[in-house]
Amino acid sequence: MTITQEQATWFEQTFGQLADNVERAVLGKRRVIELVLTALLSEGHVLLEDVPGTGKTSLARAIGQSVQGTNTRIQFTPDLLPGDITGITVYDQKTGTFEFHSGPIFANIVLADEINRASPKTQSALLEVMEEGHVTIDGVTRRVGVPFLVLATQNPIEQAGTYRLPEAQLDRFLMRASLGYPDHAATVRILDGAAVSTDVLTPVITPQALVGMADLAASVYVDALVLDYIARLVDGTRSADEVRLGVSIRGALALTRATRTRAASQGRTYATPDDVKALAVPVFSHRLILHPEAEFDGVTQEAVIGQVLLDVAPPTSREVV
């Protein structure tokens, strides 16, 4: 069943209220806030990659506070173990049985702070739960929260004591975003104390309502021409001279889901090529593996996607409705 115009209008209003609430704590970053909310409503996860002090943790906390569910924070360190994330089974001597103690991954919003500081073994503990929404411990599968969003942060500048995220795990993130420094006007407002503490943000939506919004977003109509446009963009990333490994099928599916959500957030019941273009960089860029020569020449993944968007023409043969 396709989303109705009345439902799309409600979706747009609720999406705007969520973004407004988060922006009270993270000033001047509306674009990134909307990207994270789009990923949340597309049942995906976000990697926030930026230098220290730009508000990555504040953004994650603000998202968690805006949803009337559970939110946890995991500080990744080199000595963090997989069981510290997923939980462990402990033997109870009084009852003579094994009892499961759940880890911080069992929440609706999980902030994985400085994820690249943990060892590869610990990072891999997130693979199953990010993809499947459950963890398997001692042969028992347990579901995590619904909705479920992992907001991971990492500092790309400081590399001492860090472990690079493997491509398989990067592909699990629906988007990669960067906050960047606020502009001059937002900086003045921050210095003047205009940004509220994330602790005082009031929830604006329940987890059940959020799941309902995700279901509505999934029912947005996507024309065959738009799907063909996404497929041609994917092909363009694979044939680019600077690229060693292009976007996967998982990446194409991720862009399609995010495109539906963005259309609903604009109050529309159908997706357009503009929705695709607005999300191609954050959804695709971290999935590309460049040739070492291109990286040495200063070519970035974002620049490659930008060129592909210029080279691949959007559909124009008929109106996309």
| CA distances in angstroms from 272 to 228, 246, 318, listed in the order given | 12, 23, 12
Residue 252's pLDDT is what? 95
SS3 of 221, please?
strand
CA angle 117, 68, 133 (to 5 degrees): 50
For residue 91, report the phi and psi dihedrals to the nearest 5 degrees. Answer: -80, 125
What's the CA gap between 170 and 122, in Å, rounded?
14
Show Cβ contacts of residue 28 under 8 Å, excluding neighbours closer than 6 positions: 182, 183, 185, 186, 187, 189
Residue pair 115/76 in contact by the 8 Å Cβ criterion: yes
Residue 318's pLDDT is what? 54
User: Average pLDDT per run of 10 along the chain, which is 321 residues long?
Assistant: 91 95 89 94 90 78 85 88 88 82 88 86 81 83 86 76 78 88 85 79 89 94 95 94 90 96 96 95 92 90 94 74 46
Residue 259's pLDDT is what? 97
Residue 320's pLDDT is what? 45
Residue pair 86/54 in contact by the 8 Å Cβ criterion: no
What's the CA gap between 156 and 301, in Å, rounded?
14
Query: What domains appear along the chain, each with residue ranges and CATH number?
Result: 1-200 (3.40.50.300), 220-316 (1.10.8.80)
